[in-house]
Amino acid sequence: MSVINLRVNGQARTVDVDPATPLLYVLTDDLALNGPKFGCGLGQCGACTVIVKGEAVRSCSTPVQAVAGAEIITLEGLGSPENLHPLQQAFIDGQALQCGFCISGVIMTAKTLLDRTPNATDTQIRQAMSNVLCRCGAHVRMLAAIKKYQQQRQDRRTA
Amino acid sequence: MTPLLTSDAQAALSRRDFVKRTGALIVAFSAARVATELGLAPESVSAQGINGVGSPQLDSWIAIGADGRVTAYTGKCELGTGLYTAQLQLVAEELSVPLDRVTLVQCDTSRTPDQGTTSGAQSHPTNFNHANLALACATAREALVELASKKLGVPTDQLTAADGAVSHRSNGSQRVGYGELIGGNRFNLQLDKNARRKPASEWKILGTSVPRVDFPAIVTGRFEYVHNVRVPGMLHGRVVRPPALGSTLVKVDDGSVQGMPGLVRVVVRKNFVGVVADKAWQAEQAARRLKVEWTAGRQVPDQRTYYQHLRSQSTTRQALTVDSGDVDKMLAGAAKVLRSTYYHPFQMHASVGTACAVADVQATRATIYSATQAVWPLRNTMATMLGLKPEDVRIAFRMGSGCYGVNGADTVSYDAALLSQAVGRPVRVWLSRQDEMAWENYGPAFVIEQRVGLDASGTIVAWDYEGWSISLGGRPGYNAPGNVVTGYLAGFQPQGVMPRAPAPPPMNFDNGSNTAPSYITGTVGNRSGGCGVVQSERALSHTIESPFFTGPLRSPARLQNTFAHECFMDEIAASLKADPVEYRVRHLRDPRLREVVTAAAQKAGWDRRPSPRNGNSTRRNGVASGRGMACVLYEGDNGYCALVADVDVNLSTGLVTVKRCVAAMDCGPISNPDGVQNQMEGGIIHGISRALREEVTWSGERVTSIDWKTYRPWFLGDQVPVIETVLINRPDAEAMGAGETTITVTAAAIGNAIFDATGVRVRQLPFTAERVKAVIDGRS
């Protein structure tokens, strides 16, 4: 066990864990966050995705020691029901999910892409989402919600 | 407002307050008594535990607080399909109260009535609670009007209920709120089967696209899934499954994990092995390191020749859905006979999250938080597993990852409970990806042979269906914990297959598995329950015992059967150079099925002509385009659907791309149009994934499709079609299912479109590029 300092959703947090523990387990069990989910533990599906230093990271296969001191954002840190992030709002507006278990992968991956590449083409968006799994088949609505958010960002910039 | 729907605290508080004022809970009754009191046939409330025994007591369903807030109790749960929101709409509508004044408590054996299983959510009308929760609300609304009549001194026929209050029809100042009328007290009434239900023409909340109330919490990570249940003092468990099918435990070397940090205990019960530790990571490490010796496994017949193996079994359980007795004679006398065989693989639920449960098992009682579809049945089997009385076991539903049927939710509930019982503390278990995929209850493989006889004019005069499928285990129900892997490992037997031949004659026409095609009359006795006109008809099914656990997977058997029927129907039309839509309609007599077929074709701009498309004009760069139609009356009586799929087929690689899907559906009155559309779209994408990619694989004694590389569904980066939907709303009809209709027809529509594009018929799923290419090249 070792003491590790983290910065999660803007707050300083300290945990005392085996440094090889996957970040997901620390977020879920030590910090009681519900956003990132265990989907496969293999980094294949995206359900555990968080943003670390602007990158979409699969927290199920990232040792917690690798992100000590880095800014970590989970779905909770993006917005709250009272103060939704525009991307979260786009998913509600489009009713773009079903069971919602995959949503960290969808939203966090799309956000990091559009933060870095605001004018991403449809092909680039699909490329970025190629290893994100939604099993309920909400694909069409999800892609539409991402496009809507992208359009809003672009409109704000040109306004 | 943050709708943390499954918040224990909120619901418990509300219920506790209510109970304090009103006395004991009323949740359990015998099925026969409920049926008698509601004037229903006993089988309607007890069939296979789907509906449960319910409750005849109004106070089991509805409580109204002094503040006028309504708490409703339902035995049907949210599985990700929108059922929670749809039920809120139902309560608000029937009780004439604003939606935001209703709290719904779902599926908790300590609080809600026994409504059995929530299966095929939004695909079975009982899940909408039209028979009981809605009846309770209507009963309550009428009771409130009676109370208001006494209080205001106004006859009931001059009163109206709206917006959570009863008021004078012509003098709005004479008004009294529900809270004032009943707040905190019991109704002490029975459900009144004559209570007036609101017809769809009066609906204000039902029938509208109310947004899902759980989405704000879900998209911000505030929602409590079962994976997020945290109980004080909770430990973490991990199971160690056998390495191969049929392996049994020889010995466990506890010493191999001795001294590992956080390890609490190694738990063994017959062939069930697991570890418990302080933290999830520690449990995972210990489970990996634990030395366990197992016997050799049992070989499964070679996958490459598995369909022949299945087809050649002679010891089977037979069932006849229909038999007019003259099929062989009619086929012998037909102008032309066509015959084809279709093959459907094992597929898996493959939920995006692995199954999880939290159990707190004490010496004399147990609480299990579970994503099961069946809290009351699970209570019984859990009691059997733990050696407790059912009344001392509480199962509380918490939503999991979308399940699409019997995924790992029940088995992991047993896992958590066995581990908790062994250590006497609460334990959470989530399965590893491999453990989930290697041991789940797969949707079964099918081989389906069909023959039709045609007369000289090309009309079908006889239809013969013979199908082979396989089964082992399934839903644990009320008494079969061995139907899923954990129960089996702990020493309980799965329900296998009792051979039975010949099949007994059918007693009535039950097409719940869509064994019979839409084009036959379905005549048993004096009643014709089918949708079609073909009078000479036979549908004979064989079931053999499976090497793997099997169970309901979204549109169980209905998808497999419809794939075979609808592709074969297309073959018949093509052999006659008939337009596939016209040829279908010609053999259908059910006007609602004809209407969805016509509506989908019209919306899709269907071009009337036979398949395949002639000439090379549409083949650009080696890509051929085609369109296909398929239709079904889901479960024989539970949702009409037709789908037109447009595909591109790359002739040099065999790659199939679905470009556009147009679906028409008639499920009676529509509770939530956008919710239905979401289900239709999801069913199509799920259906494309299953049709083009999905197949359980094995080698020797092991399943080899055990992660997202070896079992690859449709990811978000994969190409999706344009989807258009046509909803045919029938306000005055009975409610039907909507959640499993489009997926039932997707594979067939795609198969027919591949034929239209290429002129080759692929009769085996999935339509992988390799398989399609091989058929195009004439290699299979």
Contact (Cβ atoms closer than 8 angstroms) between residue B435 and residue B362: no
State whether A139 and B674 contact (CB < 8 Å): no
Both A71 and A20 in a single domain?
A: yes
Q: Does B222 touch chain A (CB under 8 A)?
A: yes
Single residue among A78, A96, A131 that ends a domain in this structure = A78
pLDDT at B6: 37
Q: Does B233 touch chain A (CB under 8 A)?
A: no
Task: Report chain A residues whose CB lies below 8 A from the CB of B744.
Answer: none
* DSSP-based three-state secondary structure for B632: strand
Phi, psi of B442 (to 5 degrees): -70, 150
State whether A75 and B221 contact (CB < 8 Å): yes
Q: Which residues contact A142 (CB under 8 A, 6 or more apart)?
A: A91, A96, A97, A106, A134, B716
Domain coordinates in residue numbering, chain B: 8-215, 233-296+351-439, 446-776
CA B777/CA B780 separation, integer angstroms: 8
Q: Is the pLDDT of residue A159 over 80?
A: no
pLDDT at B16: 37
Chain B residue with CA closest to A88: the answer is B219
Closest C-alpha among B272, B267, B276 to residue B294: B272
Task: Report chain A residues whose CB lies below 8 A from the CB of B717.
Answer: 126-132
pLDDT beneath 70: ranges in chain B: 1-51, 120-127, 615-620, 780
Contact (Cβ atoms closer than 8 angstroms) between residue B442 and residue B548: yes
pLDDT tens digits for A90-114? Answer: 999 999 999 999 999 999 999 999 9
Q: Which residues contact B101 (CB under 8 A, 6 or more apart)?
A: B68, B69, B70, B92, B164
State whether A100 and B215 contact (CB < 8 Å): yes
Chain B residue with CA closest to A39: the answer is B353
Q: Does B218 touch chain A (CB under 8 A)?
A: yes
pLDDT at B334: 98
Both A90 and A71 in a single domain?
A: no
State whether B219 and A29 contact (CB < 8 Å): no
Smallest CA–CA separation between A87 and chain B, in Å?
Answer: 9
Q: Does B215 touch chain A (CB under 8 A)?
A: yes
Smallest CA–CA separation between A15 and chain B, in Å?
Answer: 13
State whether B228 and A75 contact (CB < 8 Å): no
From 3.30.450.20, 3.30.365.10, 3.40.50.620, 3.90.180.10, which CATH number describes the B233-296+351-439 domain?
3.30.365.10
pLDDT at B15: 42
**Which of A99, A122, A125, A134 has the highest number of chain B CBs within 10 A, making it the mutation to test binding with B?**
A99
Smallest CA–CA separation between A74 and chain B, in Å?
Answer: 8
CA A71/CA B71 separation, integer angstroms: 42
Q: Tell me which residue range forms the domain holding A98.
A: 86-158
Per DSSP bridges, beta strands B291-294 and B249-253 are antiparallel
pLDDT at B676: 94
Single residue among A50, A78, A106 that ends a domain in this structure = A78
CATH of the domain at A102: 1.10.150.120
ipTM above 0.95, yes or no: yes
Name beta bridge partners: B74: B106
Contact (Cβ atoms closer than 8 angstroms) between residue B371 and residue B439: no
Chain B residue with CA closest to A28: the answer is B228
Q: Is the pLDDT of residue A85 over 90?
A: yes
Number of independent structural domains in chain A: 2
- Architecture of the domain defined by B8-215: 2-Layer Sandwich (3.30)
Contact (Cβ atoms closer than 8 angstroms) between residue B721 and residue B660: yes
Both A34 and A94 in a single domain?
A: no
Both A95 and A72 in a single domain?
A: no
State whether A143 and B228 contact (CB < 8 Å): no
Single residue among A78, A108, A141 that ends a domain in this structure = A78
Q: CA neighbours within 13 Å on the CB side: how many for B166? A: 26
* DSSP-based three-state secondary structure for A139: helix
Q: Does B472 touch chain A (CB under 8 A)?
A: no
pLDDT at A1: 87
| Alpha helical stretches, state H, B103-197 | 133-152, 178-182
Q: CA neighbours within 13 Å on the CB side: how many for B120? A: 29
pLDDT at B14: 44
Q: Using alpha carbons, list the distances in angstroms from residue B769 to B40, B645, B699, B708, B777.
A: 52, 18, 22, 19, 12
Query: What single DSSP character describes residue B540?
Result: E
Name beta bridge partners: B394: B367
Q: Which residues contact A130 (CB under 8 A, 6 or more apart)?
A: B715, B716, B717, B718
Q: Does B779 touch chain A (CB under 8 A)?
A: no
Q: How many CB pairs under 8 A join A and B?
A: 199
Closest C-alpha among A22, A155, A38, A25 to residue A105: A38
Q: Which amino acid is at B127?
A: N
pLDDT at B749: 98
Q: Dihedral sign, CA of B605, B611, B613, B619?
A: positive
pTM, two decimal places: 0.94
Chain B residue with CA closest to A107: the answer is B219
Both A62 and A90 in a single domain?
A: no
Q: Does B214 touch chain A (CB under 8 A)?
A: yes
State whether B219 and A88 contact (CB < 8 Å): yes
State whether B212 and A79 contact (CB < 8 Å): no
- For the CA atoms of chain A, what is the radius of gyration? 16
Task: Report chain A residues whose CB lies below 8 A from the CB of B86.
Answer: none
State whether A41 and B353 contact (CB < 8 Å): no
Task: Report chain B residues whose CB lies below 8 A from the CB of A76.
Answer: 220-222
Contact (Cβ atoms closer than 8 angstroms) between residue B543 and residue B421: no
Segment holding B657, helix H or strand E:
strand B656-666
Query: What single DSSP character describes residue B255?
Result: G
Task: Report chain A residues whose CB lies below 8 A from the CB of B1.
Answer: 81
Q: Does B260 touch chain A (CB under 8 A)?
A: no
Both A139 and A112 in a single domain?
A: yes
Smallest CA–CA separation between A155 and chain B, in Å?
Answer: 24
CA B437/CA B370 separation, integer angstroms: 19
- Architecture of the domain defined by B446-776: 2-Layer Sandwich (3.30)
Contact (Cβ atoms closer than 8 angstroms) between residue B116 and residue B49: yes
Q: CA neighbours within 13 Å on the CB side: how many for B386? A: 34
Interhelix angle A103-116/A86-93, rounded to 10 degrees, is 130
By CB atoms closer than 10 A (0-12, 13-18, 19+), residue A48 is buried
Both A43 and A91 in a single domain?
A: no
Q: Which amino acid is at B271?
A: N
* DSSP-based three-state secondary structure for B154: coil
By CB atoms closer than 10 A (0-12, 13-18, 19+), residue B374 is buried
Q: DSSP readout, B682-731?
A: HHHHHHHHHHHT----EETTEE---STTTS----TTS---EEEEEE---T
Task: Report chain A residues whose CB lies below 8 A from the CB of B280.
Answer: 25, 28-29
Q: Which amino acid is at B249?
A: L
Strand order in the sheet with A71-73: A11-17, A2-8, A71-73, A49-52, A55-58
**Which of A135, A146, A149 has the highest number of chain B CBs within 10 A, making it the mutation to test binding with B?**
A135
Q: Does B476 touch chain A (CB under 8 A)?
A: no
Q: DSSP readout, B352-409?
A: SSPPEEEEEE-SS-EEEEE--S-HHHHHHHHHHHHT--GGGEEEEE---S--SBS-SH
Other Cβ atoms less than 10 A from the Cβ of B506: the count is 17
Contact (Cβ atoms closer than 8 angstroms) between residue B752 and residue B769: no
State whether A135 and B432 contact (CB < 8 Å): no
Other Cβ atoms less than 10 A from the Cβ of B269: the count is 17
pLDDT tens digits for B185-197? Answer: 999 999 999 999 9
Both A73 and A93 in a single domain?
A: no
State whether A97 and B219 contact (CB < 8 Å): yes
CATH of the domain at A25: 3.10.20.30
Query: What single DSSP character describes residue B82?
Result: S
| Among B residues 333-362, those touching chain A with beta carbons less than 8 Å apart | 350-354, 356
